[in-house]
């Protein structure tokens, strides 16, 4: 039996359907990273496992006990899970030791001496033994998050749930928290981690879930998801592809509007002036080359331009689809000025004919 079994999990907020029937099994010792865009349901899914968000439909079984069952002892079942939030939620009126000892002494009926011994052991593991009696407000964000992880471990959970544990931290503090999670991974702690740290997810996870369209859109090993994603939205997310579209239906199109759109697009995603200029020139030359060779004077024009910028690889690609007659500007025996410019500025060019359209791509 799996440690966690999730069947048909659904959750809506008013008319907004966030989870549309999620199924998942989590095995003992498995580390699962959950990634996806903002608002895709990652955190709602994680919070639903411990019933911090009550599902509308579906079944959640934790270590053989259905936490969603009518009359279930939710508090008891929930103790087998520890949750680390974006914010640390330490009790500000208690020092570190009291924060760690409160739950095990009250809920597990552990003696204070045993609780303090366990707390000191955990604090030593995360490098904070010398902060046992510090107050939360004098600790850095990274230190507070490490304390929050220790507080979860005090209850000896069977699984840890991390809801973007580094998103509220200064970049200089992220590493210290990730180091603690790596340590837990080496100890084969079962973990579900919602994260935007892609390199960390690749390193720590056994399995990666990409959330989109109300559920698990694609899943696989880190190599499968990060190196060879199969589905369109996963590919776009992993490669962080940004795009700019422009349609032309008349020979007398607004060239200044096109140049302005490319300028805005380039500045938004951090392209330098030279890159933006090359994009503008290549698009202009390619469009006029196709207008002159693919369409007669009275033909209807149907050109669709798309610029793709891949942040992860810092690569830019121009794609242009047009109807009319087939024309491959890169296979001409004598290159005109436009084609010479395009070839000089490009790393790779491709032209093909498919379903009555000419598709041209240029990678800069």
Among 184, 199, 233, the domain-final residue is: 233
pLDDT on residue 88: 79
Q: pLDDT tens digit string along 228-253? A: 999 999 998 888 878 889 999 888 88
In the chain, the number of structural domains is 2
> Domain check: are 23 and 144 in the same one?
yes
> Domain check: are 332 and 211 in the same one?
no
Q: pLDDT tens digit string along 81-127? A: 999 988 878 999 999 999 999 999 999 999 999 999 999 999 999 99
> Domain check: are 84 and 214 in the same one?
yes
Alpha-carbon separation of residue 280 from 26, 186, 287, 327 (angstroms): 50, 50, 11, 21
What does the H/E/C string look like for 160-182? EEEECCCCCCCHHHHHHHHHHHH
CATH number of the CATH domain containing 51: 3.40.50.300
CA 204 to CA 54: how far, in whole Å?
29
> Domain check: are 263 and 163 in the same one?
no
> Domain check: are 251 and 172 in the same one?
no
Assigned token pair, 141 = 């964000």
> Domain check: are 37 and 175 in the same one?
yes
Among 200, 233, 266, the domain-final residue is: 233
CA 295 to CA 342: how far, in whole Å?
20
**Above pLDDT 90, what percent of the chain?**
55
> Domain check: are 201 and 274 in the same one?
no
Smallest Cα–Cα separation from 244: which of 266, 215, 211, 275? 266
Q: Is the pLDDT of residue 335 over 70?
A: no
Q: What does the pLDDT average to over 159-166? A: 92
Please tell me the pTM assigned to this model. Answer: 0.72
> Domain check: are 206 and 350 in the same one?
no
Supply the range of the domain harboring residue 246: 240-363
> Domain check: are 62 and 36 in the same one?
yes
CA 254 to CA 277: how far, in whole Å?
17
CATH number of the CATH domain containing 296: 3.30.565.10
> Domain check: are 291 and 306 in the same one?
yes
Report which of residues 300 and 210 the model is more confident about: 210
Mapping DSSP to helix (H, G, I), strand (E, B) and coil, where does residue 106 land? helix
pLDDT on residue 299: 86
The rounded mean pLDDT for the chain is 89
> Domain check: are 321 and 177 in the same one?
no
Contacts of 182 (CB under 8 A, 6+ apart): 203, 204
Contact 318, 283 (CB under 8 A): yes
Contacts of 356 (CB under 8 A, 6+ apart): 323
Q: Is the pLDDT of residue 282 over 80?
A: yes
Q: Which of 62-71, 155-164, 286-295, 329-338 has the lowest mean pLDDT?
A: 329-338
pLDDT on residue 53: 94
> Domain check: are 359 and 267 in the same one?
yes
pLDDT on residue 168: 73
Helices (H), the chain: 42-49, 74-78, 96-106, 112-125, 141-153, 171-186, 198-204, 222-227, 232-239, 255-268, 273-294, 337-345
pLDDT on residue 5: 97
Contact 44, 55 (CB under 8 A): no
Among 188, 209, 233, the domain-final residue is: 233
């Amino acid at each position: 039996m799996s440690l966690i079994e999730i069947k048909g999990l659904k959750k809506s907020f008013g008319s907004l359907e966030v989870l549309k029937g999620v199924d998942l099994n989590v095995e003992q010792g498995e580390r699962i990273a959950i990634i996806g865009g903002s608002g895709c349901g990652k955190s709602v899914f994680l919070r639903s496992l411990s019933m911090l968000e009550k599902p509308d439909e579906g079944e959640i079984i934790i270590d053989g006990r259905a936490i969603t069952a009518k009359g279930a002892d939710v508090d008891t079942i929930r103790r087998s899970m520890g949750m680390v939030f974006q914010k640390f939620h330490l009790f500000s009126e208690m020092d570190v030791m009291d924060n760690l000892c409160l739950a095990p002494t009250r809920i597990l009926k552990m003696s204070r001496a045993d609780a303090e011994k366990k707390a000191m052991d955990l604090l030593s593991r995360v490098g904070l033994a010398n902060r046992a009696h510090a107050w939360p407000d004098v600790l850095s964000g990274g230190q507070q998050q490490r304390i929050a992880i220790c507080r979860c471990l005090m209850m000896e959970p069977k699984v840890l749930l991390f809801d973007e544990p580094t998103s509220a931290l200064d970049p200089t503090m992220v590493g210290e928290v990730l180091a603690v999670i790596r340590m837990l991974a080496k100890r084969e702690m079962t973990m579900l981690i919602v994260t935007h740290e892609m390199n960390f997810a690749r390193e720590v996870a056994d399995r990666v879930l990409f959330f989109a369209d109300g559920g698990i859109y694609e899943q696989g090993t880190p190599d499968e998801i990060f190196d060879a994603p199969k589905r369109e939205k996963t590919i776009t997310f992993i490669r962080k592809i940004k795009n700019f579209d422009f349609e032309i239906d008349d020979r007398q199109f607004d060239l200044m509007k096109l140049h302005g759109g490319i300028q805005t697009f380039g500045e938004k995603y951090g392209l330098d002036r030279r890159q933006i200029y090359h994009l503008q020139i290549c698009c202009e030359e390619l469009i006029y080359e196709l207008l002159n060779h693919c369409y007669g004077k009275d033909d209807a024009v149907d050109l669709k331009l798309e610029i793709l910028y891949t942040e992860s690889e810092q690569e830019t690609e121009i794609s242009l689809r047009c109807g009319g007659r087939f024309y491959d500007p890169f296979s001409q025996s004598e290159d005109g000025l436009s084609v010479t410019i395009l070839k000089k500025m490009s790393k790779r060019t491709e032209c093909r004919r498919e379903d009555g359209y000419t598709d041209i791509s240029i990678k800069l």
